[in-house]
């Protein structure tokens, strides 16, 4: 049984949680202490630590002290939430990094199949590969969003944390439909890597582009299955990471806003925070990132999958040279979607719905083709 691979929280950490106020989050969470786990129906969210940083080139496996994050998180007060959360403890580093990927793959796959959303707190962001492989048995195409200053598709990189996306894109079976990066910084990425993202019709948004209008990230995150957050995307002045100093990046408010958008997405089924360097300041920030994600999950509107079109306003926009663009606006949340033509099995044509925003609808009324729509159409034809 895979749950035998988990290490429960230490007695010292349990004692700390016992001492937090009765209204604190730590008193609202169940802590897994057994070797088996069967009753999935009791929980909606599972928190998992992964104590393996080898993909980031760190040999000292003890560096991933997730206990600091848990202390910071469980001392916070929850909002008016109606969520059932279990902390499953930690996956210890395997004999090899591939063993750790495999354990994470099996665990996340099992939870997602039973409608439990895993929150993974880890070492290197290359652990995203293990999560991605957990979708193999779900028989679906996967949309991955990475919040990161780097694209992690570096050719010939020596560390898995710098090239895990290459493995996801190239290795069979390929389940990836779309990849989107939020917050890349051009000077950290070779131009050929940026060009490759463009040639694959993936999406990449520069830090300044997102910071100047944080709302452009909402439909991108609403369309994600996996959201992988690299703490290196936050500027060191806000994260407290001065070991790998980064003068530019998202500030604390922005990264928490992105986390909340991810939580609000009805589609996101796994959320991970990675590249934590074991500092108290980072632990505090991660705790707040997780708090905002959980709050977002609590306020999900239940609009995915998109089933009852009667509950939406429909807008048809004629575009010269193309079929009409069909937009939908929710009368509950005010969020927008647009139809994308797709080729299904045996060349049967159909449509899927892609999250968008009102600005893209306004662009279409001005005969300007939304770039995300165009890229999604190209990907569907590949």
Domain ranges of the chain: 2-298, 309-381
pTM of the model: 0.95
Contacts 24+ apart (CB under 8 A), 235-244: 238/285, 239/281, 239/282, 239/285, 240/279, 240/280, 240/281, 240/282, 240/284, 240/285, 241/277, 241/279, 241/281, 241/282, 243/277, 243/279, 244/277
Phi, psi for 336 (deg, rounded to 5): -115, 150
CB–CB of 109/134 below 8 Å?
yes
For the domain covering 2-298, report its CATH number.
3.40.800.10
CB–CB of 312/356 below 8 Å?
no
Q: pLDDT 10s digit of each residue in the chain, 382 long?
A: 788 889 999 999 999 999 999 999 999 999 998 777 888 999 999 999 999 988 887 765 456 889 999 999 999 999 999 999 999 999 998 999 999 999 999 999 999 999 999 999 988 999 999 999 999 989 889 999 999 999 999 877 778 888 999 999 999 999 999 999 999 999 999 999 999 999 999 999 999 999 999 999 999 999 999 999 999 999 999 998 887 889 999 999 999 999 999 999 999 999 999 999 888 999 999 999 999 999 999 999 998 877 667 779 999 999 988 889 999 999 889 999 999 987 554 445 567 899 999 999 999 999 999 999 999 989 887 7
CB–CB of 131/105 below 8 Å?
yes
DSSP calls for 20-33:
S-TTSGGGSEEE--
Report the relative pairing of strands 117-121 and 45-51 from DSSP bridges.
parallel
Number of H helices and number of E strands within the chain?
13, 14
Of the chain, the end-to-end C-alpha distance in Å amounts to 39
Query: Helix crossing, 66-74 with 11-18: angle to 10°?
Result: 10
Spatial distance between the Cα atoms of 366 and 337, rounded to a whole number of angstroms? 18
């Amino acid at each position: 049984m895979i749950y035998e691979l988990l290490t429960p929280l230490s007695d010292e950490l349990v004692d700390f949680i016992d001492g937090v106020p009765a209204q604190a989050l730590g008193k609202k969470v169940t802590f897994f202490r057994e070797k088996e786990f069967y009753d999935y129906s009791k929980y909606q969210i599972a928190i998992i630590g992964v104590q393996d940083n080898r993909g980031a080139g760190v040999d000292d496996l003890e560096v991933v002290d997730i206990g600091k994050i848990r202390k910071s998180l469980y001392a916070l007060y929850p909002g008016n939430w109606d969520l059932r959360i279990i902390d499953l403890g930690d996956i210890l580093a395997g004999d090899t990094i591939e063993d750790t990927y495999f354990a994470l793959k099996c665990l996340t796959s099992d939870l997602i199949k039973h409608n439990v959303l895993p929150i993974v707190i880890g070492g290197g962001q290359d652990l995203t590969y293990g999560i991605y492989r957990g979708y193999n048995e779900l028989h679906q195409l996967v949309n991955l969003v990475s919040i990161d200053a780097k694209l992690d598709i570096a050719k010939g990189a020596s560390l898995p944390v710098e090239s895990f996306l290459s493995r996801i894109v190239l290795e069979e079976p390929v389940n990836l439909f779309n990849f989107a990066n939020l917050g890349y910084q051009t000077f950290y990425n070779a131009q050929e890597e940026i060009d490759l993202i463009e040639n694959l019709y993936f999406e990449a948004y520069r830090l300044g582009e997102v910071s100047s209008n944080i709302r452009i990230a909402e439909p991108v995150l609403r369309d994600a299955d996996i959201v992988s957050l690299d703490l290196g995307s936050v500027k060191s002045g806000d994260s407290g990471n001065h070991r790998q100093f980064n003068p530019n990046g998202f500030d604390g408010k922005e990264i928490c806003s992105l986390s909340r958008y991810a939580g609000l997405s009805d589609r996101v089924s796994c959320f991970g925070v990675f590249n934590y360097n074991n500092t108290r300041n980072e632990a505090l920030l991660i705790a707040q990132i997780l708090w905002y994600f959980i709050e977002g999950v609590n306020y999900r509107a239940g609009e995915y999958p998109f089933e009852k079109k009667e509950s939406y306003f429909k807008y048809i926009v004629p575009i010269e040279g193309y079929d009409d663009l069909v937009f939908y606006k929710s009368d509950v949340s005010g969020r927008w979607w647009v139809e994308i033509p797709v080729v299904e099995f045996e060349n049967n044509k159909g449509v899927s719905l892609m999250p968008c925003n009102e600005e893209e609808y306004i662009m279409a009324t001005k005969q300007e083709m939304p770039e995300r729509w165009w890229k999604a159409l190209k990907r569907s034809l590949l």
